[in-house]
Every structure is written in C-alpha cells, then in structure tokens.
A and B are shown apart, each in its own frame.
Chain A
C-alpha cells in the first residue's frame, strides 16, 4: 500500500513539474497580447487585451489560474484554427496513439523472438548475427531509417505509399520506422533476461521432465523472462509517443506530433502548449499504468520498492 502511495506521489510531482514547465515556457514567449493583436497596436488596445487574457495579474495568481485551466483542458483559442486548442489536439490524438500502438506491437512481435533466439543459441552465428544487427540498429538514426524505407519501398519498388493516412498500407512504413526506434534495445533486453532465466533450476526440471525444448523455452522460460521485457516495452511507449513527432513529420501523418511542429512554425502557442501538455500527460499516465501492471504481474515488486 505504501508502494502505491509513493507511486501516486511521484505521479503527482511529475504532473506538477510538467505543468510548471509549460507555464514557464508560456511566460518566456513574451507578451501574448502583442501576438494576438495586429501590428502597431495602441497602448489601450494592449492594456485591454492583457486584461482579457488575465496577464495583468500578479505572477502567482496567473500560475494558479494556469494550473487550474490546464487540468480543465483550457489552453485558450488556437490562433490558426480559431477553435479551442485542446479540441484541436484531441482530434489528432487517435492517429498518434494508433501509430504508437502498432509500432509497439510490431517491435514486440519482431524483437522478442529475436532476443529469445539469440539467447537460446548463445555464442552461435545466429546469436552473433542477431546481436550484430541490434548493435547496428542502435546506431541508425531512426528518422533516416524512415527515409530509407521510403526510398526502397516507396520510390524504388513502388509497392507502398510514402505518406498519408487511411488504409492499413499507410501504417506499414511509419510503424516500422517507429518500431525501429526501440527494436534494438528490446531485442538486447529480451536476450539478456532470457539468458538469466535459461540456467535456472526450474528450467532444468522442465527439461528433465522430458518436455520438448520449445515448450521449455516458451512456457517456462519466456513467462519468467517476459516480465522485465513487458515493463521495458511499457516504458518505451512513452519514447514512442515522443518519436511519433518525428515519424509523423516524415510520413505526413495527421497526428499530434505533426500538429505540434506545424503550430511551432505558425507560432500558434495555445496549440503548442496543449499538445505538449497532453502528450506529456499521456506519457506519464502510460508509465503509471505500467508500474501498476508490473506490481500486479509480479507481487515481489511491491515489497521491494
């Protein structure tokens, strides 16, 4: 129970930290009144707008008000779209979440078997090949991987769309790119946690019982080696949310990341803040959920922390 409380406190601190960061960023941007008004406004106009925005108040009042507004999801009206900034962001959220989810699934389906294979065939060419691939994978800038995938499958072979959104085909290249972001490290972790499990007593017992090697590895091994891998993948979900910014930009994916970048170049600050805040919250929430799940999966954790 104390564990749960300490996680909740941590969660609250992080949320507070993120909100404060966004607030500071807002204050650093300069006078929002000047940004809203047409060129060369009169002093009166400036004063009026500042009053309307509430930025004539003391900083502390502004901070508290911002805090409350942020948690109500009120970041103001988008300069560019003319509607509530939060709804602009929320509209784009499903596309980003879908991309990150598919990428996560893909990297689990590809990287975990590779890691297990490398562990089982430790020291053989299979292991060296897979781990060599992982080492190279960690050196590849994943946005470049995306460009290369476009070049090969989109341009040279012409079999897959190079950008856009809609059908299942549109998912392949972006999600592969994003999966590539975390696959190397996932495979390495899967390998090392499998190795740790392989020479445990219960594995010997399972072998001795006469079970087939595949059953031993998959049922007895992977089940135990899987716990750290699942947690790791959960933590990576947050990284993926960050990574979507880049991948969406490359593939013209209509998600929050692309919206964020576009809003930066349009100086559409309400949307920038809403997007940053919502992505960060999603990240924090996912981490929190993974922590909880982890404790449910493995009761030992609760007493350890």
Chain B
C-alpha cells in the first residue's frame, strides 16, 4: 500500500540518459528498454514457476512439524541443518517449504483482486470517458470518496463484520484497485473517443456498446495491463498486511503475511523466521514494480504523466 497507483512516478532516468547528448536511434533505445525488462521478468517468472511447482520443489509438507527441530537456524548458520535450507519455525516446520506454498496463496489472490478490480475500473472508466457529463461526474465522485477514506480502515471495518475469508479478501482488495484503473482508463477513453474512427463507427450505426467494446476497449487494453502490473505490487503488500493483522488468510493455509505475524513472538530467538518471509515479499513486489515501470516506459511514455 505504498501509495500504490497514486505514487508520483519518477521513472528512473536510466534508459533516457544518454550522456553524449545526441538522440539515440529509436531501435537501440527499444532494445535497451527490452533489456531492462529482462531481470524483473525473469524473477517474476521464476516466482510463478516456484509457486506452480511448490509441491515438487518443497522438501517437506508445509504443515509437517518436526518438534525435535524447532527454531532451527538456516543451513549455513551454526547449528543449522542441511535439510532445512532456511531453518524451521516454532513448530519445526520447514520455512523454505512454507514460503514456496505461501506463494501459491498470496500471488493468485493478488492476481484475482487486480483482475476483478481491473474489470470494474475499466468498465466504469470507459463509461465515464465515453458518455462524459453526469456519468463522468458520478464516477469521479465515487473515486474521490473512496480516496478520501483510509483504505486499510475500510478493509478492517468490512472484515470485522463479515469475518475473514479468501472471497472477502479478494473483494476488499479489488475495491482498492478499481480506482487506479478507472482514473487512467477514463483519461484514455476521453482521448480515444476524439478519434475519427470512433465517430465513423457511430455514423455507420454502431451502438454505444459496440463502439465501446469493439473500437475503444481494444485500445485501452495495453494501458490497463500496464496499470495492473504497476498496481499488483501494492495489492500483494496489502494482502500480506491484512493477513499479518489476522484479517486475511487463516491457518492452516500458509501465507507470507501470516507467517510474519506468527514469527513475531520469536523475534528474540530466531531472526530467520521474520526475515525470510519479508524478503520473499520484497523480492516479488520489487520485481513486479520494476516490470510495471519498464512496461509503462516501453508501451506508453504519456501514461506516466496521466496516471499521476
């Protein structure tokens, strides 16, 4: 929730800072940017792969307890054991295995919430940008109201009432992400509906729905994908925050946020139990953010200004 989509973008001047002053050939620029995408893309793919193949990769069942080997440090530390690569938690469960299985929970939930929020945001943004007028002012007001309320408070209030469950978690998180999509899509739709082909489609007798679905939406999609990539990191952090507070994923399902809240009590005894789940989160969120930054610069430099 590090200010998510509202964060001012300061796309690092990495690619755009040719010291020699003269303009770089477009093709070379493109290649350099492709290259920038590669490391985060590889990390993201590796994490997805690890999540998919967790049952094969994990040396132990995530819930398997080794009560004789509680709070074992990582294998390279003194007292560590080779079979517990990242050590064990307070019940002697293998941390590496739990992290691998945790990815199978945290990532799909963040993805589902982003997709759902994206669908809602795209639909409302399209409507607002296409029809303008009163539709637009209603949607803008809705966004305004939502942004003038601390989201985490909203999430806590809702979950306090409904009780924690995966479905509620996804719904609440998607309520967070729709505004970012709606704002950007609204602006894009404004611009696109000025185009002659849109007017032509209308003149040929295309219905509003058809024009929006066939002529505008396809042009919105790349932008929406970029917005989603930029936003999903914040959603992952939010999910882990709620799970950390005990309002998200419930045991015995493993999630990184819940791991951290369990580990808190042992922070004096076992640094590894709090360190590794957070590192896992950091690596995932960082690479997704970098991927989003890169995609944004690559696909549409204008978006940088508009999404502020």
Q: Which residues of B contact A136 (CB under 8 A)?
A: 282, 286
Structural contact, B152 and A245, CB atoms closer than 8 A: yes
Interface centre among A13, A136, A242 (most CB of B within 10 A): A242
Chain A min CB distance to B172 (Å): 13
Structural contact, A141 and B241, CB atoms closer than 8 A: yes
Chain A min CB distance to B126 (Å): 24
Chain B interface size range: 35 or more
Q: Give A242 to B1 CA distance when docked, in angstroms.
A: 11
Q: What is the chain B residue whose CB lies nearest that of A141?
A: B237
Q: Which of A258-290 contact B (CB under 8 A)?
A: 260-261, 264-265, 272, 276, 279-280, 283-284, 287
User: Do A287 and B148 contact each other (CB < 8 Å), given the known contacts A25-B161, A138-B7, A139-B285?
Assistant: yes
Chain A min CB distance to B25 (Å): 20
One of A25, A128, A265 near B157 (C-beta < 8 A): A25
Q: What is the chain A residue whose CB lies nearest that of B278?
A: A144
Q: Which residues of A contact B13 (CB under 8 A)?
A: 122-123, 127
Structural contact, A246 and B152, CB atoms closer than 8 A: yes
Structural contact, A272 and B160, CB atoms closer than 8 A: yes
Tell me whether B274 is interfacial, beta carbon within 8 Å. Answer: yes
Q: Give A130 to B14 CA distance when docked, in angstroms.
A: 13
Tell me whether A140 is interfacial, beta carbon within 8 Å. Answer: yes
Q: Give A272 to B91 CA distance when docked, in angstroms.
A: 33
Structural contact, B148 and A14, CB atoms closer than 8 A: yes
Tell me whether B158 is interfacial, beta carbon within 8 Å. Answer: yes
Structural contact, A232 and B148, CB atoms closer than 8 A: no
Structural contact, B8 and A189, CB atoms closer than 8 A: yes
Q: Which of B148-177 contact A (CB under 8 A)?
A: 148-154, 156-158, 160-162
Structural contact, B157 and A284, CB atoms closer than 8 A: no
Structural contact, A185 and B267, CB atoms closer than 8 A: no
One of A188, A243, A264, A283 near B10 (C-beta < 8 A): A188
Q: Which residues of B contact A156 (CB under 8 A)?
A: 271
Q: Give A249 to B156 CA distance when docked, in angstroms.
A: 13
Q: Give A263 to B202 CA distance when docked, in angstroms.
A: 56
Chain B min CB distance to A252 (Å): 11
Q: Give A232 to B10 CA distance when docked, in angstroms.
A: 15
Structural contact, A28 and B161, CB atoms closer than 8 A: yes
Q: What is the chain B residue whose CB lies nearest that of A140?
A: B282
Per DSSP, are chain A's interface residues mostly helix, strand or loop, or mixed?
helix
Q: What is the chain B residue whose CB lies nearest that of A229?
A: B8
User: Do A147 and B278 contact each other (CB < 8 Å), given the known contacts A14-B145, A14-B148, A139-B286?
Assistant: yes
Structural contact, A143 and B286, CB atoms closer than 8 A: no
Structural contact, B144 and A10, CB atoms closer than 8 A: yes
Q: What is the chain B residue whose CB lies nearest that of A288?
A: B148
Q: Give A249 to B293 CA distance when docked, in angstroms.
A: 32
Structural contact, B245 and A261, CB atoms closer than 8 A: yes
Q: Which residues of B contact A141 (CB under 8 A)?
A: 237, 240-241, 257, 278, 281-282, 285
Q: Which residues of B contact A284 (CB under 8 A)?
A: 148-149
Q: Give A132 to B161 CA distance when docked, in angstroms.
A: 41
Tell me whether B275 is interfacial, beta carbon within 8 Å. Answer: yes
Structural contact, B275 and A151, CB atoms closer than 8 A: yes
Structural contact, A279 and B150, CB atoms closer than 8 A: yes
Structural contact, A150 and B12, CB atoms closer than 8 A: no
Q: Which residues of B contact A122 (CB under 8 A)?
A: 13
Tell me whether A142 is interfacial, beta carbon within 8 Å. Answer: yes
Structural contact, B157 and A276, CB atoms closer than 8 A: yes
Tell me whether A236 is interfacial, beta carbon within 8 Å. Answer: yes
Structural contact, B10 and A134, CB atoms closer than 8 A: yes
Q: Which residues of A contact B253 (CB under 8 A)?
A: none
Tell me whether B264 is interfacial, beta carbon within 8 Å. Answer: yes
Tell me whether B207 is interfacial, beta carbon within 8 Å. Answer: no
Tell me whether B260 is interfacial, beta carbon within 8 Å. Answer: yes
One of B148, B153, B286 near A276 (C-beta < 8 A): B153
6 contacts between A and B (CB under 8 A): A131-B10, A139-B2, A139-B233, A139-B289, A141-B237, A264-B156
The 3 lowest CB-CB distance pairs between A and B, nearest first, are A242-B150, A139-B286, A144-B278
Which residues of A come within 8 Å of B, CB atoms?
10, 13-14, 17-18, 21-22, 25, 28-29, 122-123, 127-128, 131-132, 134-144, 147-148, 150-151, 155-156, 162, 181-182, 184-185, 188-189, 191-192, 232, 236, 238-239, 241-243, 245-246, 249-250, 260-261, 264-265, 272, 276, 279-280, 283-284, 287
Which residues of B come within 8 Å of A, CB atoms?
1-3, 6-10, 12-14, 17, 19, 141, 144-145, 148-154, 156-158, 160-162, 233, 237, 240-241, 244-247, 257, 260, 263-264, 267-268, 271, 274-275, 277-278, 281-282, 285-286, 289-290, 293
8 additional A-B residue pairs with CB within 8 Å, beyond A144-B278, A148-B274, A242-B152: A134-B10, A144-B281, A155-B267, A185-B3, A232-B8, A239-B150, A241-B150, A242-B150
